[in-house]
Protein backbone atom coordinates (compact mmCIF):
# COMPACT_ATOMS: atom_id res chain seq x y z
CA UNK A 1 0.00 0.00 0.00
CA UNK A 2 2.84 2.41 0.70
CA UNK A 3 4.13 2.17 -2.82
CA UNK A 4 0.65 2.84 -4.06
CA UNK A 5 0.38 5.96 -1.93
CA UNK A 6 3.73 7.20 -3.21
CA UNK A 7 2.66 6.58 -6.74
CA UNK A 8 -0.46 8.63 -6.20
CA UNK A 9 1.53 11.53 -4.84
CA UNK A 10 3.89 11.31 -7.76
CA UNK A 11 1.02 11.17 -10.22
CA UNK A 12 -0.63 14.17 -8.67
CA UNK A 13 2.54 16.21 -8.69
CA UNK A 14 3.33 15.48 -12.29
CA UNK A 15 -0.22 16.04 -13.45
CA UNK A 16 -0.31 19.41 -11.73
CA UNK A 17 3.03 20.47 -13.19
CA UNK A 18 2.15 19.33 -16.67
CA UNK A 19 -1.17 21.09 -16.61
CA UNK A 20 0.26 24.54 -16.01
CA UNK A 21 1.39 24.78 -19.59
CA UNK A 22 -1.97 23.63 -20.87
CA UNK A 23 -3.97 26.02 -18.74
CA UNK A 24 -3.00 28.98 -20.89
CA UNK A 25 -4.26 27.34 -24.04
CA UNK A 26 -7.24 25.68 -22.40
CA UNK A 27 -9.69 28.26 -23.60
CA UNK A 28 -8.88 27.34 -27.17
CA UNK A 29 -8.75 23.60 -26.64
CA UNK A 30 -12.14 23.09 -25.00
CA UNK A 31 -14.74 22.29 -27.62
CA UNK A 32 -18.12 23.92 -27.26
CA UNK A 33 -19.87 20.76 -26.14
CA UNK A 34 -17.52 20.35 -23.18
CA UNK A 35 -18.81 23.57 -21.73
CA UNK A 36 -22.30 22.13 -21.30
CA UNK A 37 -23.24 22.00 -17.63
CA UNK A 38 -22.06 18.96 -15.76
CA UNK A 39 -25.14 17.53 -13.96
CA UNK A 40 -23.83 18.14 -10.46
CA UNK A 41 -27.10 17.32 -8.76
CA UNK A 42 -27.30 13.90 -10.37
CA UNK A 43 -23.73 12.99 -9.46
CA UNK A 44 -24.06 14.20 -5.88
CA UNK A 45 -27.40 12.46 -5.24
CA UNK A 46 -27.07 9.76 -2.61
CA UNK A 47 -30.27 7.95 -3.54
CA UNK A 48 -30.67 5.97 -6.70
CA UNK A 49 -34.05 7.42 -7.67
CA UNK A 50 -32.96 11.00 -7.06
CA UNK A 51 -29.84 10.49 -9.17
CA UNK A 52 -31.81 9.06 -12.08
CA UNK A 53 -34.42 11.77 -11.85
CA UNK A 54 -31.81 14.53 -11.79
CA UNK A 55 -30.05 13.03 -14.78
CA UNK A 56 -32.89 11.95 -17.00
CA UNK A 57 -35.81 14.04 -15.78
CA UNK A 58 -37.78 11.03 -14.59
CA UNK A 59 -37.16 7.90 -12.58
CA UNK A 60 -39.82 5.84 -14.32
CA UNK A 61 -38.04 3.03 -16.04
CA UNK A 62 -38.89 -0.21 -17.74
CA UNK A 63 -36.75 -3.30 -17.34
CA UNK A 64 -35.56 -4.42 -20.73
CA UNK A 65 -33.98 -7.59 -21.99
CA UNK A 66 -32.48 -5.71 -24.92
CA UNK A 67 -29.76 -4.19 -22.78
CA UNK A 68 -26.73 -6.36 -22.19
CA UNK A 69 -24.37 -5.65 -19.33
CA UNK A 70 -21.01 -7.31 -19.29
CA UNK A 71 -19.41 -7.19 -15.86
CA UNK A 72 -17.67 -9.79 -13.70
CA UNK A 73 -19.80 -11.88 -11.27
CA UNK A 74 -17.14 -11.42 -8.65
CA UNK A 75 -14.87 -8.40 -8.65
CA UNK A 76 -11.74 -9.03 -6.62
CA UNK A 77 -10.84 -5.37 -6.71
CA UNK A 78 -13.73 -2.95 -6.40
CA UNK A 79 -11.51 -0.11 -7.63
CA UNK A 80 -11.45 -1.51 -11.14
CA UNK A 81 -14.61 -3.23 -12.34
CA UNK A 82 -14.83 -3.48 -16.13
CA UNK A 83 -18.35 -2.78 -17.36
CA UNK A 84 -19.64 -2.95 -20.92
CA UNK A 85 -23.16 -1.90 -21.84
CA UNK A 86 -24.59 -2.91 -25.18
CA UNK A 87 -27.99 -2.39 -26.74
CA UNK A 88 -29.48 -2.71 -30.20
CA UNK A 89 -32.43 -0.42 -29.45
CA UNK A 90 -33.09 2.33 -31.98
CA UNK A 91 -32.84 6.04 -31.11
CA UNK A 92 -30.60 5.62 -28.09
CA UNK A 93 -29.71 9.07 -26.81
CA UNK A 94 -28.13 8.34 -23.43
CA UNK A 95 -26.51 5.40 -21.69
CA UNK A 96 -25.85 5.72 -17.96
CA UNK A 97 -24.00 3.40 -15.60
CA UNK A 98 -25.05 3.25 -11.96
CA UNK A 99 -23.59 1.27 -9.04
CA UNK A 100 -26.51 0.79 -6.65
CA UNK A 101 -24.56 0.56 -3.41
CA UNK A 102 -22.09 3.37 -4.01
CA UNK A 103 -22.07 6.48 -1.85
CA UNK A 104 -23.24 8.44 -4.87
CA UNK A 105 -24.78 5.84 -7.19
CA UNK A 106 -24.40 7.57 -10.55
CA UNK A 107 -21.06 6.61 -12.09
CA UNK A 108 -21.16 7.88 -15.63
CA UNK A 109 -23.52 8.97 -18.34
CA UNK A 110 -22.80 8.93 -22.04
CA UNK A 111 -24.66 11.02 -24.58
CA UNK A 112 -24.53 9.36 -27.94
CA UNK A 113 -24.21 11.34 -31.14
CA UNK A 114 -26.32 10.39 -34.14
CA UNK A 115 -23.71 8.00 -35.51
CA UNK A 116 -22.82 6.31 -32.25
CA UNK A 117 -23.88 2.71 -31.68
CA UNK A 118 -25.41 1.52 -28.42
CA UNK A 119 -22.12 0.39 -26.97
CA UNK A 120 -19.92 1.78 -24.22
CA UNK A 121 -17.21 0.12 -22.22
CA UNK A 122 -15.38 1.53 -19.24
CA UNK A 123 -14.05 0.67 -15.79
CA UNK A 124 -15.78 1.73 -12.60
CA UNK A 125 -15.27 1.70 -8.83
CA UNK A 126 -17.67 -0.15 -6.56
CA UNK A 127 -17.74 0.44 -2.81
CA UNK A 128 -19.31 -2.90 -2.03
CA UNK A 129 -21.34 -5.75 -3.44
CA UNK A 130 -24.36 -4.49 -5.33
CA UNK A 131 -26.02 -4.13 -8.68
CA UNK A 132 -24.53 -2.50 -11.71
CA UNK A 133 -27.48 -0.85 -13.40
CA UNK A 134 -27.45 0.26 -17.00
CA UNK A 135 -29.96 2.90 -17.99
CA UNK A 136 -30.73 3.50 -21.61
CA UNK A 137 -32.77 6.44 -22.79
CA UNK A 138 -34.26 5.63 -26.18
CA UNK A 139 -37.07 7.49 -27.90
CA UNK A 140 -37.68 9.54 -24.76
CA UNK A 141 -38.24 6.49 -22.53
CA UNK A 142 -35.91 5.04 -19.94
CA UNK A 143 -35.05 1.36 -19.99
CA UNK A 144 -32.91 -0.44 -17.47
CA UNK A 145 -31.07 -3.67 -16.87
CA UNK A 146 -29.00 -4.80 -13.94
CA UNK A 147 -26.36 -7.28 -13.00
CA UNK A 148 -25.18 -8.06 -9.52
CA UNK A 149 -21.48 -7.90 -8.87
CA UNK A 150 -19.90 -9.28 -5.74
CA UNK A 151 -17.08 -7.12 -4.53
CA UNK A 152 -14.47 -8.66 -2.27
CA UNK A 153 -12.37 -5.53 -1.68
CA UNK A 154 -14.16 -2.18 -1.90
CA UNK A 155 -12.75 0.53 -4.08
CA UNK A 156 -14.25 3.66 -2.62
CA UNK A 157 -13.02 3.69 0.98
CA UNK A 158 -9.58 4.53 2.33
Partner 1 sequence: MAKKSIKIRAKTKGGITTVKALMTHPMETGFRKDKKTGKKIPAHFIQEVVCKWKDDVVLSANWGGAVSKNPYLSFKFKGGEKGDPIELSWVDNKGMSASKSVKIR
Q: Which of residues 43-82 bind partner 1 (CB under 8 A)?
A: 43, 79-82
Residues with Cβ within 8 Å of residue 106, at least 6 apart in sequence: 42, 43, 45, 51, 52, 55, 96, 98
Residues with Cβ within 8 Å of residue 66, at least 6 apart in sequence: 87, 88, 89, 143
34 near partner 1 (CB under 8 A): yes
Q: List the x/- string, 85-104, binding to partner 1 by CB under 8 A.
A: --------------x--xxx
**Residue closer to partner 1, measured from CB, 58 or 122:** 122
- Can you tell me which of 58, 121, 148, 152 binds partner 1, judged by CB under 8 A? 121
**Beta carbon of residue 104, minimum distance to partner 1 (angstroms, whole number):** 6
- Can you tell me which of 24, 29, 63, 74 binds partner 1, judged by CB under 8 A? 29
User: Residues of 50-66 as b/e, b for ≥16 C-beta within 10 angstroms?
Assistant: bbbbbbbeebebeebee
Instruction: Quote the CA–CA distance of 127 and 153 in Å, as a whole number.
Output: 8
Instruction: Quote the CA–CA distance of 132 and 98 in Å, as a whole number.
Output: 6
Residues lying near partner 1 in the complex (CB under 8 A) = 1, 5, 8, 11-12, 14-15, 17-19, 21-23, 26, 29-31, 33-34, 36, 38-39, 43, 79-82, 84, 99, 102-104, 106-117, 119-126, 155-158
Amino acid sequence: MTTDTKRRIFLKGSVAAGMLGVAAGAGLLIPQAVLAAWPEKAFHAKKLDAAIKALMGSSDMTASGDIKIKAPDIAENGAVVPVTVKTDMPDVSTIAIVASENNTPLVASFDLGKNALGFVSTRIKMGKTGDVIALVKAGGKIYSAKKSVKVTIGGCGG
